[in-house]
Structure 1
Amino acid sequence: MTKQPVIFCDFDGTITKTDNIIALMKRFAPPEWDPIKDDILAQKVSIQQGVGDLFKLLSTDLKDELVEYLLNYSEIRDGFGEMLDFAKEQNIPFYVVSGGIDFFVEPLLHPFKLDPEHIYCNGSDFHGPKIKITWPNSCDDQCDNECGCCKTTVMRRFPASEYTRIVIGDSITDLQASKLADLVYARDFLIQKCAELSIAYTEFESFHDVINDLKERGIKG
């Protein structure tokens, strides 16, 4: 029996052209954010710890300013709307699985009318003096990487015996998911990590590249 394809797509740096967490830190955070970022990328600290520490640097009073900044700053990668249309036409479930935070992921995706149940990301708490990140999609008992939003946990809900699992991503948050995937579309830092670990991948720049490759492979639901 042919397996059902399913797509798990990163948000920051993948759906958007730039990483929104990095953009916020560059614009609003004190200099202490930079070594925290370096430690995350070097895998010296977990993603959950690192992202939590980054947002502890920001005052909750900034919430509206942060959202407004990203709504004006962030650009959606070319072909994303067409990617959603293609997935719908081909009966391929499309999930956004993001290490980003709800307070900006949801507003930036709002124009595309995705089913909220198809969006996985981290949460946020603005009740204290500093922003607290919450983890509604944390690791299951098969992952101890403290991912924050654990992409492999989401993927395991779609067993490899039944699904062709497709990952689209760009960074360290997509690495563990890429290890489980049947097909990986990579750009930027994820290309480097896939090459280091001999994970097969297809490079992409726009979602048109992904659509064209899926068509060439004849992948459909």
Structure 2
Amino acid sequence: MNSEPDAGKKLAPMARCWRWFQANIRSVSGPPPMVLDRPVVPATVFCDFDGTITPVDTFDLLMEDAYGDFWRRLKGDLLCFRVTLREAMDQLGAVLTARHLAAMERRMATFVPRPGFLRFLDAMDRAGIPVVVVSGGFLPLVEAVLHEHRHRFRAIIAGLPVPQNHGGTRHHVHSPYSSEEELVAKALVMEAYGQGHTIAVGDGITDVRMAAAADTVFARDVLAGLLTERGTHFHPWHDFDDVLRLLMEMGLVTPPGP
């Protein structure tokens, strides 16, 4: 693969992403600098991406298409807790190619946020509540969907695949917030960026520790089942209008005027 004449073209999207990462390091690494006169905010929203901001679990969909049986076995091991999230991402990085990543980015660009999400962002802007996107997936795939709205987030945190050879036939997935068991340790992100009342919105296994650390939790799908098993209180949600409605009831967000 190293000898292919278009190897440089395959690496181009990853190179652009790496340059972006370096230019915006404070948005995806940390902890952020302490600012003594930083204004106090009433709350901070920490929002998962795949299956939460997107209407389907896009990461699962893309991995299924690219890696088939390999991904199905790995996902089964994850859901049965036979491997950690960090181990799973290491295994994915070992098979991730520049060609696959570029194809995934192109496909992700065809997805749009879940209905109601942009209205939710509008309401958070009005309320002065920052939103942090924290994904257990790959940063280039998150950026493919959210790049037009990036300025509206306090930060976007996700794993960054860094090519390990010239041909881009394998990658190391880097995260500035990692733990022994998680490549993207969402609870650590909450420690770094959380102000005021912490709100977690998620749907999957990567959100369990984030939910345990949050003051208020919105859960659906796999996450709702896991939290039910653990006895962790959460609010079920179908769309972001549900999330916004409860935040209004809690007094964290003021209903829009007529």
Normalising by structure 2, what TM-score? 0.76
Q: Find the aligned partners of 1:194 and 1:84 in 2 and give their Cα distance.
A: 26
Shift of 1:43: 1.7
1:157 shift after superposition:
2.5
Shift of 1:208: 0.9
Aligned to 1:21: 59
The answer on 1:148 being equivalent to 2:188 is no
Stretches of 4+ aligned residues off by more than 4 angstroms = none
Q: Distance in 2 between matches of 1:169 and 1:81?
A: 16
The answer to whether residue 114 in structure 2 is matched with residue 81 in structure 1 is no
Q: Which residue of 1 aligns with 2:130?
A: 93
Matched, 1:137 2:177: yes
The letter of the residue matching 2:234 is Y
Report the equivalent of 1:185: 218
Judged with a 3 Å threshold, the aligned counterparts in structure 2 of structure 1 residues 3 and 115 are, in CA distance, closer, same or farther, namely: closer
Which stretch of structure 1 is more off in the superposition, 109-118 or 5-14? Answer: 109-118
Higher helix proportion, which one?
A: 2
Cα displacement string for residues 7-58 of structure 1 (whole angstroms, at most 9, x for unaligned residues)? 1000011001122221112211142221111111222111011122124333
Report if aligned partners of 1:28, 1:58 keep a CA contact under 8 Å in 2.
Answer: no
Q: Structure 2 stretches of 5 or more lacking a match?
A: 1-39
Q: Secondary structure at the match of 2:54?
A: coil
User: Rg bigger for which structure?
Assistant: 2
CA contact (8 A) 2:132 2:153 kept: no
SS at match of 2:133: strand
Structure 2 residue corresponding to 1:118, chosen from 143, 146, 155: 155
- Verify the 8 A CA contact 2:93 2:161 in the aligned structure 1: no
- State the partner residue of 2:231: 198
Q: Give, in whole Å, the separation in 2 of the partners of 1:30 and 1:192.
A: 25
CA distance in 2, matches of 1:178, 1:163: 16
Q: How far did 1:76 drift?
A: 1.6
Residue in structure 2 matched with residue 176 of structure 1 by the alignment: 209
Q: CA deviation at 1:213?
A: 1.0
CA distance in 1, matches of 2:244, 2:213: 21
Quick one: percent identity of the two aligned structures? 30
Q: Is the 8 A contact 1:185 1:201 kept in 2?
A: yes
Match of 2:198 in 1: 165
2:97 to 40, 59, 62: 59
Task: Report the Cα distance in structure 2 between the residues aligned to 1:65 and 1:203, rounded to whole angstroms.
Answer: 34
Q: Is the 8 A contact 1:16 1:76 kept in 2?
A: yes
Could you report, residue by residue, the CA deviation over 1:146-179 in whole angstroms, capped at 9, with x for unpaired residues?
21111110112256xx621110000111101111
Give the superposed CA RMSD.
Answer: 2.1
